[in-house]
Amino acid sequence: MAHSRPFRFGVQLHRADSAEDWRAQARTAEDLGFSTVFMPDHFGDQLAPVPALVAVADATTELRVGTLVLDNDYKHPVVLAKELATIDLLSEGRLEVGLGAGWMLSDYEQAGLAYDEPRVRVDRMEEGLRVLKGAFAEGPFDFAGEHYTVTGYDGQPKPVQRPHPPILIGGGRRRLLSIAAREADIVGINPSIPNGQVDAASVQTGTRARTDEKVAWVREAAGARFDDLELNMLVFFAAITDDRAGLVEKLAPGFGLPPAEVDGYPHAWVGSVGEITDELEAHRERWGVSYWVVQEGAMHDVAPVVAALRGR
């Protein structure tokens, strides 16, 4: 068994029709037992994550707030460090920092940003992470890289959580998962997105066999710190049903996978509450994944799963 951490659950929220609607969504997530509200970072129909997460924290008492994930290319890491430390301060230490190299091609095209090859984007993210950690640390620091140069900078304010808020890095390719294994506190084991959009090719990188491979990469790169990592997965589809086999059969063509691969697919929850809870316990036994994040449309439906497993 990889890990035996207790289960916790997050939900990814995107948008609201009003301030009160947004506060209500946050309170509902807390009331249903979710650990964390996450927000993505895209230019489409969603709220801006930094101010929206401050509002979530202000509307709740214990709910953690996080980014899943911030695109390193959209903000200079010195600017981002100040914003994140401010969230952590104003939330009294409830922030989780999800950082990524950027993947959604349409964001880059619409904003006129250069969509560099993956190697360059990951290089830049790795440097950006070093700048974030430097800004969160005590005292001034210098950094000189290929993409960023920082001189004598003492980031203010400092985050409440020391040495920094938990850092989450996820992905589906070896290099990014290896960086996560060495540098992050939470590692997201997810499909890769080779074409800049979620499509059949990305779905097919999330099978059980591919997940075995990804966890092995993380274990190898993490070395002695592997047992200190919290492993995380995104759930892209969730349906509570008493006809698991029938729904799996219907879903298989859309997944581009045979029904046997969809049945037990790590990033989809399909079945009764009991079937799903049993499956999550089996996934934790196999991979050590204990931190699951569902989409906002599934928040109410999967609440019985959350109630059955959180903290266990």
Give the model confidence (pLDDT) of 170-203 as tens digits: 999 999 999 999 999 999 999 988 777 777 788 8
| Residue 3, in any domain of the structure | no
Selected residue with higher pLDDT from 26 and 192: 26
Is the pLDDT score of 149 beyond 50? yes
For residues 248-255, average pLDDT? 95
Range 260-274 average pLDDT: 97
pLDDT attached to residue 198: 75
What would the mean pLDDT of 245-261 be, rounded to a whole number? 95
Written as six digits, the tokens of 253 are 């063509």
Reply yes or no on whether the pLDDT at 2 is more than 60: no
The pLDDT score that the predictor gives to residue 3 is 59
Mean pLDDT score of the chain, rounded to an integer? 96
Question: Does the residue 2 lie in any domain?
Answer: no
In a domain, 38, yes or no: yes
Domain count, the chain: 1
Residue 1 lies in a domain: no
Task: Give the least confident one: 12-26, 193-207, 294-308.
Answer: 193-207
Instruction: Evaluate whether 232 touches 167 at the Cβ level (below 8 Å).
Output: no
Q: Residue 128: which of 177, 169, 189 has the closest Cα?
A: 169
pLDDT of the residue at 195: 77
* Domain-embedded: residue 220: yes
What number is the average pLDDT over the span 201-227? 95
H/E stretch holding 239 reads strand 237-240
- Angle of CA points 21, 23, 29, to nearest 5°: 105
Q: How confident is the model at residue 45 (pLDDT cuts 50, 70, 90)?
A: very high
Residue 1 pLDDT: 44
For 144, left (φ over 0), alpha (ψ -120 to 50), or beta?
beta
- For residue 190, is it within any domain? yes
Residue 48: domain span = 8-309
d(CA 185, CA 203): 25
Residue type for 270, please? V
pLDDT for the residue numbered 192? 85
At 206 the pLDDT is 95
Residue 297 lies in a domain: yes
Indicate the DSSP class of residue 142: E
Region 134-139 average pLDDT: 98
Q: What is the pLDDT of residue 65?
A: 98
- 195-198-199-205 Cα dihedral, nearest 10 degrees: 80
Asked whether residue 272 is assigned to any structural domain, the reply reads yes
Work out whether the CA dihedral 239, 245, 250, 255 comes out positive or negative.
positive
Q: What is the end-to-end Cα distance of the chain in Å, rounded?
A: 16
User: The CATH number of the domain where 206 resides is what?
Assistant: 3.20.20.30
Q: What span, in angstroms and rounded, lies between the C-alpha atoms of 91 and 61?
A: 9
How far apart CA 34 and CA 30 sit, in angstroms, is: 6
Strand-pair partners of 127: none
**Mean pLDDT across the stretch 85-97?**
98
